Structure 1
Amino acid sequence: MFPEEMFAIVPDALDPATCDRLINGFAHEMDEGGLVQGQAATHIRRSKITWFNEEQEPVVCRRIVDLVADVNRNVFDFSLTEFAEDAQIACYAGDLRGHYDWHSDVGASDVARRRKLTMVIQLSEPDQYEGGQLQLNPAGHFIDAPMARGSAIFFPSFVLHRVAPTTAGLRYSLTQWVHGNPFR
């Protein structure tokens, strides 16, 4: 796989009204997201997160399924089998220098080991925060994800990425992982 095939961008994956509904509907449910392997690690991650599923947001989840199917068919062609985790909404606050240092989404747990495709959708308007850029490093060079509200970026879950420190305002994003048999 060549670097230019290591990500796909879908502008307007979600409309502004849906982005607002997700932020307003879930912001009050957020808990500390700085846990890494069950322990507080704010030097690695400082954010608040919450989760939602198809029962809570059937229209959004249907949209995610359609986006994943289209992008995977046209770009990645991974063997995907399920959504083993709910979708995550994260908030990175400027007053706390919210961030998530370099990492991949493939982890040690059974579920995280089967993550194959990551999708991140920007929920905030870019003028509502400073910093907080989602950056990918698929092959030794940085790629900045689009900051346009409602835009989605897809990448293999093994690709290194980070959320740079947010220096002002609030940055909200939606992340969904898609699972299959582990890469070999």
Structure 2
Amino acid sequence: MMLHIPDVLTKQQVLDIRHRLDHSTAWIDGKKSAGSQAQSIKNNLQIDVHSEIYQQIAPFILTALKQQAMVQSAALPRHCLMPMLNCYQDSGNYGNHVDNAVQYSSETGQPIRTDVSITVFLSEPEEYEGGELVVEDNYGTHEVKLNAGDAILYPATSLHRVEPVTAGKRIAAFTWIQSMVKDDWQRSMLFNLDMTIMQLRQKYGDSEETIHLTSHYHNLLRQWGDL
């Protein structure tokens, strides 16, 4: 399931973050965080996770993501990794790849299974040319280029890439979530059911039918959940 989540960050929050990133000296070669296979296809910059600016910005973005009801409903987070920050410019790109199945928390060293990927865009679409996030799944190929402050959520199992940025800068934050429900199809069914329950409650209140559907939702989560 792919899901566009608007306004994870306000425009003012994006401006504040961008001002600091645009003047930062903490950018390093993105290949330093890539595995041996990815190093040949990864051409970008990333903020050093040991830098002071990273320690200030990354937790702020993570908190904003956790506060999003749509993230909670769609991803059903068990563990969230601290976001990383990257920049594509001067034809920078990242070829087709699938994210590593396991990442390690920079805070605790805890292994995290990567079920869900999230990218938060920090550049407006008109600030750069190219740079589309391209995600391939069973339903085809999807190009994503969102407004600054918006996020895209998609299965980490998807083959994806970032097209070359031929002008300007594409700055973004990205992270992974280990879900309570490992299977993407099951997460999608639970998300659709949760959205239906919310709509029914708004329209009819806590009717007997809504309560039964809510019970069904929680029993499915109990059955499929990995705690």
TM-score tier, shorter chain, comes to 0.7 to 0.9
Partner residue of 1:87? Answer: 83
Q: One-letter code of the match for 2:70?
A: D
- Structure 1 vs Structure 2: percent identity of aligned residues? 25
Unaligned runs of at least 5 residues, structure 2:
106-110, 184-227
Q: Which residue matches 1:3?
A: none
Q: Which runs of 5+ in 1 are unaligned?
A: 1-5
Give the deviation of 1:23 after TM superposition.
Answer: 2.4
What residue number does 1:15 align with? 10
User: How far apart in 1 are the matches of 2:62 and 2:82?
Assistant: 9
CA distance in structure 1 between the aligned counterparts of 2:148 and 2:136, rounded to whole angstroms: 22
**Greater CA drift, 30-39 or 151-160:** 30-39
Aligned to 1:19, the other structure's residue is in SS state helix
Aligned amino acid, residue 28 of structure 2: D
CA distance in 2, matches of 1:30, 1:182: 35
How much is the aligned-residue C-alpha RMSD, in angstroms? 2.8
Q: Map of 1:144-155 to 2, 5 A cutoff?
A: 144-155=143-154
| 2:15 partner amino acid | D
CA contact (8 A) 1:82 1:178 kept: yes
Between structures 1 and 2, the one with greater strand share? 1
Aligned pair count? 171
Residue 25 of structure 1 is matched in structure 2 by: 20
C-alpha separation between the residues in 1 aligned to 2:54 and 2:104? 22
- Which structure is larger by alpha-carbon Rg, 1 or 2? 2
Query: Distance in 1 between the 2:112 and 2:100 partners?
Result: 5
Shift of 1:99: 0.6
Larger deviation, residues 19-28 vs 116-125: 19-28
Map 1:1-184 → 2, pairs under 5 A: 6-27=1-22, 28=24, 29-35=26-32, 36-37=34-35, 41=39, 43-50=40-47, 51=49, 56-57=56-57, 58-67=59-68, 70-73=70-73, 75-76=74-75, 78=76, 80-83=77-80, 85-93=81-89, 95=90, 97-107=91-101, 114-139=113-138, 141-180=140-179, 183=182
Secondary structure in 2 aligned to 1:86?
Answer: coil
CA contact (8 A) 2:102 2:113 kept: no
| Structure with greater contact order relative to length (CA < 8 Å, sep ≥ 6) | 1
CA distance in 1, matches of 2:62, 2:99: 20
TM-score, normalisation: structure 1: 0.78
Name whichever of 155-164 and 111-120 sits farther off: 111-120
Distance in 1 (alpha carbons) for counterparts of 2:102 and 2:70: 28
Local SS of the residue matching 1:149:
coil
Q: TM-score, normalised by structure 2?
A: 0.65
